[in-house]
Amino acid sequence: MAFSSETRHLRNYVGGCFVDGGRPFDVVDPATGKVHAIAYEANRPIVDAAVAAARRAVEGEWGRMTLARRRSMLVAVAEGIEKRFDDFLAAEIADTGKPHGLAHHLDIPRGAANFRVFADVIANLPAESFEMDTPDGGRALNYAVRRPLGVVGVISPWNLPLLLMTWKVAPALACGNAVVVKPSEETPSTTTLLGEVMSAVGMPDGVFNVIHGFGPDSAGEFLTSHPGVRAITFTGETRTGAAIMRAAAPTVKALSFELGGKNPAVVFADADLNAAVAGLSRAVFLNTGQVCLAPERIYVERSVFDAFVRGMKARAEALKPGLPEEAGVDFGPLISDEHRQKVLGYYRMAVEDGAQVVTGGGIPALSGEAAGGFFVEPTLWTGLAHDARVCREEVFGPCAAIIPFDSEEEAVRMANDTEYGLAASIWTTNLSRGHRVAAAMEVGICWVNSWFLRDLRTAFGGAKLSGVGREGGVHSVNFYSEPTNICIRL
């Protein structure tokens, strides 16, 4: 499935091969609005076949494979992605419309790196053991062994399709599970392409399966409610997470969710203002704001408020939207026209709620093929009350409200005054304040004087409505495996 200008057909990948069947649906290039691929919706029999193939793999060759061999397979997958780097890059860009430089430097390298990281993590995991006295004066030894869960359902999002899919698949396979992956219907290409890599490196049949489709009464619902699936891992919006939780409840599946956010950033007067502007302009506008960690609320100490706003405005207006391969383009489209209408609705709502539009607020004037793409302008507001709807609800677009504050206590209170709790960033040169305020944030991850700086061994996940559980390093291993305690009387 080398990527070219021709319309591609993305079939379901089950038991080590691509299978026919399923209702076709269009996959649209967001940068042009044109169909670039046809995917095939998995019906219930295809999902059943994928789960059965995964179960056979766990009970067969994959389940009997030594840890050393399993790790070598993960490294081979990473090398396979790198060998076909250009194909993965073209597929990711076609599905998302994101600029070439972003996909080249972030999405594809991290997709490969995830397999290498978890090959190392699983090899360096310590085992737990305890000696104990027995009631009759003897001794006993307790130790734990880890076992895979079995079949894991992976539901991955459209904003970072390869990166976030492999972030789940790699640790699941490292622990010895088999997976059935349902990528977003908006971005199925790189997941399908990974099926080719799995075959090429000799991954046993059924270890990696791909089903295409939608949510309710489609592949997503069939997977999350399937009695043969032991666990579901999902990244996406909170409402979808709640629906998956309901579907999984009757069979009491293990769940790991990274959900929505309304992330705050706090800029103190003693911050390096140039660094704060550079860091937060990247945070707000990277991937057209379609990043779960992006700050949509920025609280700035009043004495530097105007200077900060001027700096952010200049950065926003320097961004260049356009087709991914065009020279200098660093700002892509939103994923779909439907999502664009949602974001534009929030742009209008902000004005209705009294916002002063610092910059943006509409659709950029583009020509050629880009005129059919789903672009919006990078947008900043001031003058909004902290409780305005656009300050409470996740927009998931390239926008932020900038709000002044007068004291550390006020900033902390406003930052935490949300139903979400995914990420935050603090900007200050006061070391004590940085530690103190970061620890006060009710989030899963908080950066100080940085954003999106990730050590893949560390815990990642959200609090409150932003998720259930943690991923990363040993935290992923703890989800994708379960310990059995063995007690030996000595």
Residues annotated as part of the active site: 258, 292
Which residues fall within 8 angstroms of residue 480, CB to CB, at 6 or more apart?
A: 148, 149, 152, 171, 172, 174, 175, 177, 231
Q: Kindly state the DSSP code that residue 462 receives in the 8-state scheme.
A: -
Which residues have C-beta within 8 Å of that of residue 171, sequence separation ≥ 6?
A: 118, 121, 122, 471, 476, 477, 479, 480
3-state secondary structure of 18: strand
Residue 184 backbone dihedrals phi, psi, to 5 degrees: -55, 140
Return the sign of the alpha-carbon dihedral for residues 103, 109, 112, 115.
negative
Sign of the Cα pseudo-torsion (198, 199, 205, 209, in order):
positive
Grouping H, G, I as helix, E, B as strand and the rest as coil, residue 63 is helix
Sorted by sequence, the CB contacts under 8 Å of residue 250 that are 6+ apart come out as 225
Q: How many CB atoms lie within 10 A of CB 364?
A: 18
SS3 110: helix
How far is 152 from 231, CA to CA, in rounded Å?
5
**Both tokens assigned to 449:** 């004087």
Written as one letter, the residue type at 233 is T
Contacts of 91 (CB under 8 A, 6+ apart): 3, 189, 190, 193
| Kind plus residue range of the DSSP H or E element containing 379 | strand 379-382
The token pair at 254 is 């293990």
Question: Cβ(138)–Cβ(131) under 8 Å?
Answer: no
Question: Using alpha carbons only, how large is the chain's radius of gyration in Å?
Answer: 23
Distance CA(10)–CA(139), nearest Å, equals 59
Q: How far apart are CA 107 and CA 460, in angstroms?
A: 18
Q: C-alpha distances in angstroms, 437 versus 126, 215, 232, 403, 432? A: 33, 39, 34, 18, 9
Q: How many CA atoms lie within 13 A of 56 on its CB side?
A: 14
Nearest-CA neighbor of 95 among 293, 374, 348? 374
Among 198, 186, 191, which residue's Cα sits nearest to residue 168? 191
Distances (CA, A) of 281 to 53, 294, 316, 452, 477: 46, 10, 7, 12, 34
